[in-house]
A = this chain, B = another copy of it.
Amino acid sequence: MPIERLLGAMMLVLVATGCVPVLRGTGDLGIVVERATGRVQVVETTGRSVLGTVEGLGDLSHAAAVFSRDGRHAFIFGRDGGLTKVDLLTGTIAARVVQAGNSIGGAISDDGSLVAVSNYEPGGIKVFDTATLRQVADIPAVGADGRPSKVVGLGEASGKTFIFTLYDAGEIWIADLETPDRPHIRKITGIGRLPYDGLVTGDGHFYIAGLFGEDGLALVDLWSPEKTARRILDRYGRGEQKLPVYKMPHLRNLSTAGRLLFLPAVGQHVVLAADTGTWTEAGRVAVLGQPVFAVARPGGRQVWVNFAHPDNDAVQVIDVPTMTVIDTLRPGKAILHMEFTPRGEQVWISARDSDEVVIYDAETRKPVQRLPADKPSGIFMSTRAARMGL
């Protein structure tokens, strides 16, 4: 048999058995978490299709993901403390560790070498080599009160440095892992009561922690050598009647729209806009329910908002130049997450109780496709690899 024919036959066998993954770029890939089944879908946004599924990721009832520097691998943080490295090109699990009892999220260093995980149980953070998932650091979060603390709002702060918040202790820590077995930690204490989430802004300049126990947020200027915390948007809800909180808002997906940072106000039917120069309130937009995510479309022309029960079938769109709600969409039942493509022309929305991901044209605000998914929750695009702070 001539070698060409033999090769051809061999390749057919390989392809037929799934042994030869298709050569393709990774810039338009993403994952959709199927929360009830411990599974993720690998999706692509050019043809808007599901490429395959990867099973065996444990409890994904509250999951988040970051991506390797080259966009090939997703690191998925599961509720059960599982950290799973998924190969998007082969649709397989490249590595997996159950590293704690209950994890809440994580971040990856800008050189791609370290992935850090924040934990509820037993608290603290653990850091892993991204190539092997070998543990390289274990940092318990014992606050000034001497007690171990849950950790929330873990972000990347450039150069193998991570920043995170101690929920119970009310502290923000900055851990430099240039030498992983001897991490250098700077502690900022007394930031306020019950910080519930935190994020690094998209320009890597600030870290913001939301405070459930106070009417305001804590801000750290990462460019300042002092790196102390100050209170911003203090008493933003003063005089307002507190509503019961049906679901805590999420800060992780925040992005700035021009000079404004949009924040879901805890327990109020309001999205707040903060001026990122003065860190004072620049406006507030009344919305139809308690906001969970307020996500700026890339470019910042609009902010898309979803809501806690009983308004979790709605998405509202805020027009930033006029600071008004210009549209109320009903994509499906139990809207959990929204993720834009990097240039902002599409937004992918998970409708858990409709068992669908609904893709909207962000410009026309019309649905252009619906993809079946089993109880979809988080949607994460691989281009998050290129974003600071994640």
Contacts and interface: CB of A to CB of B under 8 A. Distances in A.
Interface in A102-137: 110-112
A24 B388 CA distance: 22
A90 interface: yes
Given A21-B23, A90-B23, A386-B386, A345 B73 contact: no
Each complex incorporates copies of this chain amounting to 2
Interface in A76-102: 88-90
Contact of A343 (B3, B68, B343, B386): B386
User: Which of A3, A10, A72, A386 has most chain B Cβ within 10 Å?
Assistant: A386
Contact of A300 (B7, B203, B387): B203
A158 B363 contact: yes
Main secondary structure of the interface of A (DSSP, over half): loop
A231 interface: no
Contact of A28 (B13, B69, B342): B69
Contacts of A46: 69-70, 111-112
Interface residues of A, number: 56
Interface of A: 3, 6-7, 10, 13-14, 21, 23-29, 44-46, 67-73, 88-90, 110-112, 158-159, 203-205, 223, 258-259, 276-277, 298-301, 321, 342-345, 363, 382-383, 385-388
